[in-house]
């Protein structure tokens, strides 16, 4: 399959690299890691994301400045990264060949060709295998993108998906030139004052249910207006709420444009939150999933999630 995927790439001239709306480090790192590889192959390459305000904490990634927000006029092949369903790219890709690269268990294999490895710790690990299987030697820039995606999606190697192979991959990337301390500083030590103020407001909404095993926080547009922060500044909130000692499931409700709520679900030990997300039309992983709720009724979606959790927790 990996040989077949690379043949598809070699036989395409104009390639667009896409990742999901509100991209995280795995989505962007995976996409940007392929940019210089394809340029060296003589391809016309575009890196495109629908979201115009991308998390600035990722601006240290090589070729970050190449990201555009509109599709090019000519596309022979679209490669999607870390995108659990095709609608999550935000663009119509009718009559365009799609190579789907992902690691989400809920991915429906929407591509003409699908490299979906749900046992892998990150989408970037799938990208690395694609390159390694086809004898592509990676440089420091490519390795930095893949490593950043890997450490972000494994929570710096603390999530369940972290296995022996994860550290073997990290070792190979360091050998290729990655500086782990640099990546760590870029990801964790560049917080804005607006983000800290936003975090404080979000924490003030904390609500505990089911003997403090379920925690909920929410983000409203008003909070963004008050602090001057961006939605991307709340990226790690769900994980931080899950860190509470009693909490098994963390729920983060975010008001988004279009009158909808973006729901992020996290679990610690026992609950498979991907099943809950799937029941609302979303998806993800056992410990990290999400969905979009087509209403701004925070109380309603919270109660619906709690109803499902009462049966489990």
The domains of the chain, with CATH numbers, are 2-188 (3.90.1640.10), 193-310 (3.10.310.30)
The CA angle 84-87-92, to the nearest 5 degrees, is 135
Q: pLDDT at position 141, please? A: 98
- Residue 308: pLDDT over 90: yes
Task: Tell me the per-residue pLDDT of 109-141, one tens digit each, with 9 for 90 and over.
Answer: 999 999 999 999 999 999 999 999 999 999 999
- Residue 105: pLDDT over 90: no
State phi, psi for 134 to the nearest 5 degrees: -110, 15
Alpha carbon of residue 177 to chain centroid: 24
Q: pLDDT at position 53, please? A: 86
What mean pLDDT is predicted for residues 166-189? 97
pTM: 0.90
What mean pLDDT is predicted for residues 247-254? 98
Q: Which residue has the tokens 């760590």?
A: 184
Percent of the chain at pLDDT exceeding 90: 92
CA-atom Rg of the chain in angstroms = 19
* Torsion from C-alpha of 159, 237, 90, 190, nearest 10 degrees: -90
Burial of 193 (0-12, 13-18, 19+ CB in 10 A): exposed
What mean pLDDT is predicted for residues 89-108? 95
Burial of 263 (0-12, 13-18, 19+ CB in 10 A): buried
- Residue 160: pLDDT over 90: no
Percent of the chain at pLDDT exceeding 70: 100
Strands 67-68 and 44-48: parallel
* Torsion from C-alpha of 231, 235, 236, 237, nearest 10 degrees: 30
- Residue 150: pLDDT over 90: yes
Which residues does residue 215 pair with via DSSP β-bridges, in sequence order? 208, 250
What mean pLDDT is predicted for residues 153-169? 94
Q: pLDDT at position 136, please? A: 97
Nearest residue to 102 (alpha-carbon basis) of 298, 307, 241, 283: 283
Give residue 298's pLDDT band: very low, low, confident or very high (50, 70, 90).
very high
- Residue 285: pLDDT over 90: no
Give the Å distances, CA to CA, from 3 to 113, 219, 287, 294. 11, 44, 31, 41
What mean pLDDT is predicted for residues 164-191? 97
- Residue 313: pLDDT over 90: no
- Residue 25: pLDDT over 90: yes
Nearest residue to 144 (alpha-carbon basis) of 193, 177, 107, 95: 177
Alpha carbon of residue 93 to chain centroid: 20
């Amino acid at each position: 399959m990996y040989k077949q995927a690379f043949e598809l790439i070699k036989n395409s001239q104009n390639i667009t690299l896409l990742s999901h709306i509100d991209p995280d480090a795995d989505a962007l790192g995976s996409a940007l890691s392929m940019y210089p590889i394809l340029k060296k192959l003589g391809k016309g390459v575009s890196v495109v994301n629908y979201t115009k305000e991308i998390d600035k904490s990722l601006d240290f990634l090589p070729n970050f400045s190449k990201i555009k927000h509109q599709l090019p006029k000519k596309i022979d092949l679209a490669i999607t990264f870390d995108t659990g369903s095709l609608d999550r790219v935000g663009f119509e890709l009718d009559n365009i060949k799609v190579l789907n690269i992902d690691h989400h268990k809920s991915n429906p294999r929407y591509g003409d060709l699908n490299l979906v490895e749900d046992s892998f710790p990150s989408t970037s690990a799938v990208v690395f295998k694609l390159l390694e299987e086809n004898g592509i030697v990676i440089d420091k820039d490519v390795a930095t993108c893949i490593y950043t995606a890997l450490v972000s999606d494994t929570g710096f190697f603390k999530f369940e998906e972290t296995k022996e192979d994860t550290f073997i991959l990290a070792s190979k990337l360091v050998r290729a030139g990655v500086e782990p301390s640099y990546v760590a500083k870029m990801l964790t030590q560049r917080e804005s004052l607006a983000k800290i103020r936003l975090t404080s407001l979000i924490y003030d909404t904390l609500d505990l249910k089911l003997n403090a095993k379920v925690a909920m926080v929410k983000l409203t547009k008003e909070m963004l207006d008050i602090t001057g922060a961006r939605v991307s500044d709340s990226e790690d909130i769900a994980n931080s709420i899950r860190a509470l000692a009693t909490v098994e499931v963390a729920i983060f409700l975010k008001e988004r444009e279009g009158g909808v709520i973006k729901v992020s679900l996290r679990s610690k030990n026992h609950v498979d939150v991907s099943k809950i997300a799937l029941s609302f039309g979303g998806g993800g992983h056992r410990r990290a999933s999400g969905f979009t709720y087509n209403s701004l009724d925070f109380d309603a979606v919270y109660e619906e999630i709690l109803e499902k959790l009462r049966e489990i927790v």
